[in-house]
Structures are given as C-alpha cells and as structure tokens.
Amino acid sequence: MDKIRERFERLKRQLKRKFNKNKKSKNKTKNRKRPQPGPKKKRPQVRERAESTREEPRIKPRQKEESVRTSGTINKKRKKKKITKEEFEKRKKKKRKESIIEIIKFMLPVVLFAIFVFFFILNTSPHMVDGDSMKPTLLNGDRVIVRRTKEPKRYEVITFKPPVKSEFQYVKRIIGMPGDLVWTEGSDLFINHQAESLPKASELSAANELPDGTIKVNLSEDSLEQMSQLKKIPKGHYFVLGDNRNNSSDSRTFGLVDGLAIEGVVSFRFAPFNNISWIK
C-alpha cells in the first residue's frame, strides 16, 4: 500500500508541474503588446525588391566612371600644360628622325636597284672629273657615269687612257672621226668631215676661205709630225679636244687616240646633287 501511495503522489507532482508550465507560457503571450490599429504598410512585392536591388548597383558604378572620366580629362589637360619647350623640341626631333628613317627604308631598295642596272645591265662605271679642262661642261670634282658598251660618236665626251704617261684617264670631246680629211699648214691642223677631197694648194692658206665644216687647231711639234703624214684620220682613231681649249692637254699635244684605249662615253652626271644632268 505504501508503494502505491508514493507512486500516486509522484504522478500528482508531475501533473502539477506540467500544469504550471502551461500557465506561464499562456501568461507570456498575453503580456505581449498587441500592435496598435492603424494604416497597414504594404510590403514590397518580390519584383519591386528585385528591381530596387538591381538598380542600386547600376547607379553607383556609373557615378564612379563619370568621376574617373572627369579626373582623367583634368589630368590630361594638366599634362598638356606641363609640357616644356625642351620636351616639345625633343619630340620634334624624334619625329624628324623617324621620317628620315622611313624615307631611307623606302629609297634604299630603289638606289640598290639603280646601281645594279647601271653597273651590271648597262655595263657602266663611275668616274670623278679631275681638273678644269672640260669647263663649262664638266667641273672639277663632278662625278659621272660612263657607258662602256656604247660606240663613240662625233662631239660626244669620252674617257680614255692617254698615249702619254699618266695614272689617270682623260675626259675629252671627240672632234675628228675616222675618215675625216686632215691637212696641215705650218703648225695649224685643219679637219673637215664634209669634204670629199683635200682643197687645192692655193686654198690652204689660212687667209683664204676654208671649206664648210672645217675646224682649225694649233698643234705641238710631236702632234704635228704625226698629223702632217696623214690625209685622213685612220680607222679606229679619234681626234679629241677639251672644251676649255686654253687649259687642256689633248690631241693637239699627243696626237690621235686609239679606239682600243677608249673606256666609254660619259652619259650622266650624278654629283653634286644640285647639278645632276645628262651630258651632251
């Protein structure tokens, strides 16, 4: 009996505890303040929330970009203002150098091709004029191109190895061609390429009228010995003179020039640059 009573009392206690707990929880809910009646605020819908959250990050980077752009433009303006005269001149020099380099790159293949054509295809060679014997046609220091394959004609300028001791080649103009009539009177030589026969003895005097196309020159003793024995200029030989007759060593002093000694015909002057021209 005692045991049963003890169990019964325990159950009572447990029920009382549960009952007390339920009362406390109900009292707490009752003590909470209820919201006062008033206009209810509408909660934003799901779409409105999404739009607001999307719009906010869009606005902020744009403002930053604008600020960055404005600051960049200001910095550029400041940089332009800070450029000094020395820096400006340096930039100009750099641009000039770049343009010169571009011109050289463009002209170099053209020049190389021209050199190839002149020296290998046309069989030419360069020469420098030394002396004033060809004034005013050629001046001292002029650089010319000689065509070695061209056969010389009357009044053309040629380069040749002279029949005298010399380390250099001579530059002269052809006056007498093979087959031209020649005769002498005293120390004077007469050359005519139009006449078919020599004039009569009475017409050889320098005081008389000479046949049309006759050229008269004064010879040295060595040249006179050679020319006085001829009636015509022999085949393969030429009589040459310098354009500056008062300062020229030519056929008047050393006689005729052998065609085998002729290197070629002067055709073009390529230097100095302010006097580039074809030679006639």
Question: Within 13 A of 7's CA, how many CA atoms are on the CB side?
Answer: 4
Set 16, 40, 133, 280: catalytic member? 133
Rounded Cα–Cα distance for residues 139 and 136 (Å): 7
| Whether 23 is catalytic | no
Picking from 251, 92, 247, 269, the residue whose alpha carbon sits closest to that of residue 182 is 251
Q: Is the dihedral of CA 99, 105, 111, 113 positive or negative?
A: negative
Report the half-sphere exposure of 126 (CA within 13 A, side-chain side): 12
Classify residue 225 as exposed, middle or buried by CB count within 10 Å of its CB (0-12, 13-18, 19+): exposed
**Nearest alpha-carbon partner for 210 in 180, 233, 231, 190:** 190
Please, what is the Cα angle at 215 between 211 and 217, to 5 degrees? 135
Residue 133 annotated among the catalytic residues of the structure:
yes
Residue 218 · residue 187 · CB < 8 Å: yes
Given the residues 125, 150, 172, 187, the one annotated as active site:
172
Tell me which residues are annotated as active site: 133, 172
